[in-house]
Structure 1
């Protein structure tokens, strides 16, 4: 099981790295997921992530208070809005309502999280 956690943590970090350069792919949620998997499979890597100057504060804020930074909230809500608008413009009904529903549900959940 330990190897599975290490694999999933590594995959999450790869997705986080891709999110750092690709628009609309989030970075911090994948870093949080990597920290979760590494805590179970490779504690030294988890400790490195928690001490990381860029990602560590996000991990600590999420673990301690379930908090998301204001900038992170804005970025996520903007990505949801763009995805919903794109779906409404390019997808036929009823499929165009799927991104709109995802944006409403996911966006409202993010909006209600405490701010870091």
Structure 2
């Protein structure tokens, strides 16, 4: 598997890259479970941070059963299975609809609806669909 290019990191910055990798990993795991948080994107960023800070932690992240597969698929350009795309878009729409029902400010509602629309459009039009 090809690793993405990473710029060399000075030894003084490596602990910061590792720390940021752990923060992003935690947020990414939460994002895999909760709608509205881009779990896969955060995990891809975590892997990139680990690659710059300590390749051993990158290998650890990539070896996780579900999380590692998401990152490896993204890096390889395989995209998402159709079922996952449907689930992600549904979660975005449900989270946006719920949030819109709780907000009273029209500008905030419009902004939230636009962000949700951009997310759905990105997933449906830009992320490749992985065929079985």
1:54: Cα distance to partner?
Answer: 1.8
What is the count of residue pairs matched by the alignment? 115
Please identify the structure whose Cα radius of gyration is greater.
2
Structure 2 partner of 1:67:
79
1:57 to 65, 69, 72: 69
Q: Name stretches of at least 5 consecutive residues in structure 1 with no aligned partner.
A: none
2:116 to 94, 103, 112: 103
Specify whether residues 94 and 20 from structure 1 end up closer, same or farther in structure 2 by C-alpha distance, changes over 3 A only.
closer
Structure 2 partner of 1:94:
107
Whichever structure has more helix as a proportion of its residues is 1
TM-score after normalising by structure 1: 0.82
1:87: Cα distance to partner?
Answer: 3.5
List, as ranges, runs of 4+ consecutive aligned residues in structure 1 with deviation greater than 4 Å: none
Contact 1:90 1:96 in 2 (8 A): no
1:66: Cα distance to partner?
Answer: 5.7
Once residues 104 and 26 of structure 1 are traced to their aligned partners in structure 2, the CA distance between those partners, rounded to angstroms, is 14
Structure 1 partner of 2:4:
none
Structure 2 partner of 1:15:
27
The alignment partner of 2:107 has SS state of coil
Contact 1:58 1:69 in 2 (8 A): no
The alignment partner of 1:108 has SS state of helix
Q: Which has the higher contact order (CA 8 A, sep 6+)?
A: 2
1:20: Cα distance to partner?
Answer: 5.0
Q: Name stretches of at least 5 consecutive residues in structure 2 with no aligned partner.
A: 1-12
Indicate the larger mover: 86-95 or 38-47: 86-95
